[in-house]
Chain A
Amino acid sequence: MELFLQAAVNGVVLGLVYALIALGLSFIWGVMDVVNLAHAEFLMLSMYATYWLWALGRIEPALAVPIVLPLFFVFGWLTYRLLIRHILRASTAAQIFATFGLLFVLRYSAFAAFGPNVYGIWQQGLGGSVSILGTFIATARLVAAGVALAAFGVLWLFLQRTKPGKALQAAAQDRTVALALGIPVERMFALAWGIGISSVALAGIALSPFYQVSPTIGDAFLLIAFASVVLGGFGRVDGALVGGLAIGLLESILGTLISPTFKLLFVFGIFVLMLLFRPEGLLGQAR
């Protein structure tokens, strides 16, 4: 029972970070119907950025946020302007391949720049752990979970309460009507990319204290992100939250109680089943 509780607490913490990764993906997907296969590569790059800031500049991850976040916002914006814009109206295959090619470019640039080695931040400061309900949680992980939750809150407020936020939602629901209403859709899309990429970058910063980075970590995270999005329902902020938490819990509980080697197998299996039987997700409505 104690093991279960431990696994559950780990799962929630992990799940919140997964939710943050899924958020960007879901957002972009919802707003402009583009499936970004390169999503997890941005995560990888932001982890590298955080690492090097720490290794070379002795900047703690918490302080890296104001540097890395705007940087990746611009990165997302640029990706839209330079590439995505051209494939919006293209066939599904073209979209798949465009982001696939982007994945390659980002990943192998990381290889070329940083080598295949694995890097990890080792902090003596936030290295302790905290006890909750008789289980332990590394302080760093708790902070990460908190950051993720905060990010969700901020984004929700943005979408519901501000003008550009509401315009984004409108563009997400119906591009043509939004255009007709005079909403600058182009700019909305670029904004969506900016937000989407900077949220995955924030997830990367949050993960850095306790995950190690190498050029290929995108593999596992990509499928987890997609699983979260599909599980929760794409295009919805709350869907990403629910999906991410669910995947985190599933992975942690099934992995700890049944078998760690199969934990990803469970996640992927559920993913495929969702695709087959309820692609709109737990919260979504059938499109």
Chain B
Amino acid sequence: MSRITRRRFLRYSGAGLASLALTDQLAAALAAQEGQVTVGAVYPLTGGLARIGVAIRQGIELAAEIVNSNMSDLTLPLAAGTGLPRLGSRPIRLVWADTRGDPATGRAEAERLIDRERVVALIGAYQSAVTATASLAAEAKGIPFLNPESSSPRLTDRGFKWFFRTGPHDITFTKLFFDMMEELKQRRGARISRIALLSEDTEFGATAAGVAKGYAEIHKYTIAANEYYTSPPSSLTAELLRIRAANPDAIIGANYLVDAVMIVRTLKEMRWFPQGFMVHAGFTTVPDFLSTVGRDGFYFLPRAPWALGMGKGKPLVSRVNELYKKKHGSDMDEVNARAFTGMLTLADAINRAGSTAPAAIAGALRETNIPGSQLIMPWQGIEFDNKGQNRHAAGVLTQILDNDYKVVWPFDVAESQLVWPVPPWDRR
């Protein structure tokens, strides 16, 4: 290499590195804006789950808007008055980072928000694997991390000091399925003994399958088949053929939206459907599903920590949904309803802390006690146990009937009758 070009190259790169170091200082200065409380949000805004990420974003931003503006007619925390009262009415400012659905990126982005944007707390990240690494960054740096939607039980098993989860996890959800099946057997004499599992093959699916197997053992069900696939799948024919051959009475699925369409398509081709198909949702309550598959998507049983039908008994739910619908043209779903609730919980804690010091916020989170009447969720309230899990987090089971998601279980809060067994294809 001739000397001249080498030196020039080094000089330029040296200058480049130095300027990058300077922007570090600049960014910090800019971010420390007086008058706003900055909260960071890490979600998959691109990638296969982008649609969900965007829906979550809309939910969280609605929550922030409710806090920041005066909506005294809503019985939600901080809806009355503008901003955070105990912090001089300072508004909440959200800063968004894209995790791309990747754990390493999620962590890097979380760190970036903490270091560069100086956020006082983080909210995220939908996928369990990404939440795991992103919250690790928060834990290391002493920043509270609020997780509204990830379902892996392991996240709270870690015993982190700065991690809080408002939503339910897989154990709670799976319990719903099995409790329902037990009640069906008792009340209606249903014959359910063989269960098949169909799960996507990342942490979400694998954990859900593991929990299901555990419950099956307790309740003495046989796991007839346990199939994994990589999402998104080009084809699920082999998997579903094997499941059908194993003759299960019911299927429990852990799948994403894109997989759901393929599942329906394949089942229809096979002209087969089990007595019931329960799903760890993430798909069936997102409106896209029904608009794509139409009638063929009926009768699935998604577990839902939230359903629009709840509005019949709880007007608050419908009110909030109206606000959302006016802005975005579609209803809320169970994912962004959780995100919405999580954001309000976080804002409530920051307010009670009366300070932007992360330790104070974490302390306030630990003392959270929001009653169920102030939530759009069907929970009794929000109260964190010593592992950071909301002990009142629960869900309901919905079923897709008449082009809608109807709450069907527990029976005492059901709005429609649970259809079990599902009618075969030719009688629909």
Verify that A and B bind, or say they do not: yes
Taking a contact as CB atoms under 8 Å apart, the answer to whether A256 and B229 are in contact is no
Secondary structure at the B interface, as helix, strand, loop or mixed, is helix
Q: How far is the CA of A124 from the CA of B296 in the complex (A)?
A: 10
Within 8 Å CB of A137, what residues of B?
269
Taking a contact as CB atoms under 8 Å apart, the answer to whether A120 and B261 are in contact is yes
Q: Is A268 an interface residue (CB 8 A)?
A: no
CB interface residues, B 226-282, toward A, < 8 Å: 227-229, 232, 234-235, 237-239, 241-242, 245, 258, 261-262, 265, 268-271
Q: Is B31 an interface residue (CB 8 A)?
A: no
Q: List 18 A-B contacts (CB under 8 A).
A: A3-B241, A7-B241, A116-B48, A116-B50, A118-B258, A120-B261, A120-B292, A122-B293, A127-B268, A138-B269, A210-B265, A212-B232, A212-B262, A214-B48, A214-B232, A217-B234, A256-B238, A256-B241
Taking a contact as CB atoms under 8 Å apart, the answer to whether B228 and A261 are in contact is yes
Query: Assuming A116-B47, A117-B51, A129-B269, is B242 touching A260 (CB within 8 A)?
Result: yes
CB interface residues, B 40-65, toward A, < 8 Å: 46-48, 50-51
Q: Is A104 an interface residue (CB 8 A)?
A: no
Q: Is A79 an interface residue (CB 8 A)?
A: no
Q: How far is the CA of A211 from the CA of B236 in the complex (A)?
A: 10
User: How many chain B residues touch the partner (CB < 8 A)?
Assistant: 29
Taking CB as reference atom, which chain A residue is nearest B242?
A256
Q: Is A10 an interface residue (CB 8 A)?
A: yes
Shortest CB distance B327–A (Å): 22
Q: How far is the CA of A260 from the CA of B47 in the complex (A)?
A: 25
Shortest CB distance B294–A (Å): 7
Q: Is A115 an interface residue (CB 8 A)?
A: yes
Taking a contact as CB atoms under 8 Å apart, the answer to whether A220 and B48 are in contact is no
Q: How far is the CA of A214 from the CA of B269 in the complex (A)?
A: 22
Within 8 Å CB of B269, what residues of A?
129, 136-138, 141
Taking a contact as CB atoms under 8 Å apart, the answer to whether B238 and A212 are in contact is no
CB interface residues, B 277-311, toward A, < 8 Å: 292-294
Shortest CB distance B302–A (Å): 19
CB interface residues, A 249-273, toward B, < 8 Å: 252, 255-256, 260-261, 263
CB interface residues, A 92-145, toward B, < 8 Å: 115-118, 120, 122, 124, 127, 129, 136-138, 141
Taking a contact as CB atoms under 8 Å apart, the answer to whether A118 and B242 are in contact is no
Taking CB as reference atom, which chain A residue is nearest B291?
A122
Taking a contact as CB atoms under 8 Å apart, the answer to whether A220 and B241 are in contact is no
Taking a contact as CB atoms under 8 Å apart, the answer to whether B48 and A212 are in contact is no
Residues of A within 8 A of B (CB): 3, 6-7, 10, 115-118, 120, 122, 124, 127, 129, 136-138, 141, 210-212, 214, 217, 220, 252, 255-256, 260-261, 263
Secondary structure at the A interface, as helix, strand, loop or mixed, is mixed
Known: A214-B232, A220-B234. 11 other contacts (CB 8 A): A10-B241, A120-B261, A120-B292, A129-B268, A129-B270, A136-B269, A136-B270, A211-B234, A214-B48, A217-B234, A260-B239
Shortest CB distance A138–B (Å): 4
Within 8 Å CB of B238, what residues of A?
7, 252, 255-256, 260, 263
Shortest CB distance A121–B (Å): 10
CB interface residues, B 46-92, toward A, < 8 Å: 46-48, 50-51
Shortest CB distance B77–A (Å): 35
Q: How far is the CA of A141 from the CA of B258 in the complex (A)?
A: 20
Taking a contact as CB atoms under 8 Å apart, the answer to whether A115 and B294 are in contact is no
Query: Assuming A3-B241, A129-B269, A211-B235, is B50 touching A115 (CB within 8 A)?
Result: yes
Shortest CB distance B197–A (Å): 13
Taking a contact as CB atoms under 8 Å apart, the answer to whether A136 and B271 are in contact is yes
Shortest CB distance B49–A (Å): 9
Within 8 Å CB of B292, what residues of A?
120, 122
Q: How far is the CA of A137 from the CA of B46 in the complex (A)?
A: 36
Within 8 Å CB of B241, what residues of A?
3, 6-7, 10, 256
Closest 5 CB pairs of A and B: A260-B238, A255-B238, A138-B269, A118-B258, A256-B238
Shortest CB distance B206–A (Å): 12
Shortest CB distance B350–A (Å): 34
Taking CB as reference atom, which chain B residue is nearest A213?
B234
Within 8 Å CB of B270, what residues of A?
129, 136
Shortest CB distance A153–B (Å): 26
Taking a contact as CB atoms under 8 Å apart, the answer to whether B258 and A212 are in contact is yes
Q: How far is the CA of A136 from the CA of B261 in the complex (A)?
A: 19
Within 8 Å CB of A210, what residues of B?
265
Within 8 Å CB of A10, what residues of B?
237, 241
Within 8 Å CB of B235, what residues of A?
211
Q: How far is the CA of A122 from the CA of B235 in the complex (A)?
A: 14
Within 8 Å CB of A118, what residues of B?
48, 232, 258
Within 8 Å CB of A217, what residues of B?
234
Within 8 Å CB of A6, what residues of B?
241
Q: How far is the CA of A263 from the CA of B271 in the complex (A)?
A: 24
Within 8 Å CB of A116, what residues of B?
46-48, 50
Within 8 Å CB of B271, what residues of A?
129, 136
Within 8 Å CB of A220, what residues of B?
234
Taking CB as reference atom, which chain A residue is nearest B265?
A210
Selected from B46, B50, B229, B268, the residue in CB contact (under 8 A) with A260 is: B229
Shortest CB distance B270–A (Å): 6
Q: How far is the CA of A261 from the CA of B50 in the complex (A)?
A: 26
